[in-house]
Structure 1
Amino acid sequence: MPLHVPPAPAPALRSVLTALGSRAVRETRPSALSSLATPVEPELPLPVHILDDIAGTGGPPLTRLTGWRFLVRGGDRLVAVAETMLTADGWAFSHFCEGPYVTSTEQALRQAEALPDAYQPRLLSVPELYMLTLWLRRDPEADPAAGGLDPDDLLIPLAPAPPGIAAHREHRAADLLPVLTHRLTPAPLLGSPV
């Protein structure tokens, strides 16, 4: 089933296009971008949400939109990502990066396209675990900036995933969140009452 990729805000896309063409930014590009002789294009904008304080909220997990991540294609392959962030003045370019999350995101998107249902793809960051997942929102027409995790949304951890969590395995949010919460719950100190 095709994914319903939401359009990024126009200022976010403009900031990435400006950064890709900027001589000043060119010097800080990752090597995969700097060494290319072919033009590069941003594609597949994904809203980036952060899951904060999952072990201590006591209620449903809260997410907040923090940016948009664009996959950057050079020729026939993805070579980097460009990320924007929300500032007091609106959307602004944040940084380029390369590494395992580029290919892992592409793999997870292909995996999601093979699913029978329609989803809206997002990225969900869990900073407390240094974890990034592809978040497949069940409502493909939802506002990409809003909405918390629905128990039936799917999460696909990207590689590298934290120890004990399998990368590229689809999980219902209701099934994975307790595992993440357990991972973040401090173990009792030796000799302390349980």
Structure 2
Amino acid sequence: MPLHVPPAPAPALRSVLAALGSPTAVREARTPSLRAAQGPASPELPLPVHVLDRITPEGTSPTTRLSGWRFLIRCGERSVAAADTMLTPDGWAFSHFFEGPYITSTERSLRHAEAMPVPYQPRLLSVPELYMLTLWLHRDCTDDGAEGTLAATDLLVPLAPAPPGIAAHRPHRVAELLPMLNHRLTPAPLLSSPA
């Protein structure tokens, strides 16, 4: 089934196109592969980036917030970098270019999701406390990519590198993965010393 990629806000796309067209922005980017790219570079696959603010007790919806939109930057046949945008008081603005393992991991996970028998809306979900990024496959394809909450039936696919003990590229239902994450984020009780 094809993925239903939500449209990015037009100002976010325009800000990335402007940055790609700026020799200064590209030259100063800490992305050697983007600076060395031959030919035109184009932003593709816009994905809303949500941040998991906190994991809540079982039975309640976790709190997420939209933090930006990420575009994979394609040059020729491959993605060479990514561009993040952020919401400012004046609207959507270019934030920065970057490269690294999350780009190929995102592409790999999106290819696997395309082969699934159920349609999904792809998003990214960041769990800052664990330095973790997941591909969030949202079941309601009609939702605005900026809105929506994690549903128990949604899938989360940890991107590589994933935290120790969590397999990258393995889809998990939200109801399965969030308790594992909650366990990792809960501090261990202090043992009292014998009197």
Cα deviation, residue 59, structure 1: 3.3
User: Which amino acid in 1 is paired with 2:71?
Assistant: F
Distance 2:149 2:23 in 1: 39
Match of 2:5 in 1: 5
Gap regions ≥5 residues in structure 2? none
Cα deviation, residue 58, structure 1: 8.3
Match of 1:173 in 2: 174
Distance 2:66 2:26 in 1: 27
Match of 1:14 in 2: 14
Distance 1:94 1:52 in 2: 21
Distance 1:7 1:73 in 2: 17
Cα deviation, residue 78, structure 1: 0.8
Distance 2:99 2:5 in 1: 22
Distance 1:174 1:3 in 2: 22
Distance 1:57 1:8 in 2: 32
User: Which amino acid in 2 is paired with 1:46?
Assistant: L
Distance 2:61 2:181 in 1: 13
Distance 2:58 2:20 in 1: 39
Q: Secondary structure at the match of 2:109?
A: helix
2:25 aligned with 1:25: yes
Is the 1:55–1:184 contact (alpha carbons within 8 Å) kept by the matching residues of 2? no
Is the 1:81–1:98 contact (alpha carbons within 8 Å) kept by the matching residues of 2? yes
Change (3 A) 1:26 1:32: same
Match of 1:68 in 2: 69
Q: Secondary structure at the match of 1:136?
A: strand
Which aligned pairs between 1:94-173 and structure 2 lie closer than 5 A? 94-173=95-174
**CA displacement, residues 119-163 of structure 1 (integer Å, 9 cap, x when unaligned):** 000000000110000000000111111111000000000000001
Distance 2:129 2:190 in 1: 20
Q: Secondary structure at the match of 1:183?
A: helix
Percent identity, aligned pairs only?
A: 69
User: Which amino acid in 2 is paired with 1:89?
Assistant: D
Is the 2:56–2:63 contact (alpha carbons within 8 Å) kept by the matching residues of 1? no
Is the 1:55–1:185 contact (alpha carbons within 8 Å) kept by the matching residues of 2? no
Under a length normalisation based on structure 2, what TM-score does the superposition of the two structures give?
0.95
User: Which amino acid in 2 is paired with 1:93?
Assistant: F
Cα deviation, residue 55, structure 1: 5.5
Distance 2:167 2:58 in 1: 25
Change (3 A) 1:161 1:192: farther
Change (3 A) 1:76 1:52: same
CA RMSD of aligned residues (A): 1.6
Match of 2:46 in 1: 45
Under a length normalisation based on structure 1, what TM-score does the superposition of the two structures give?
0.96
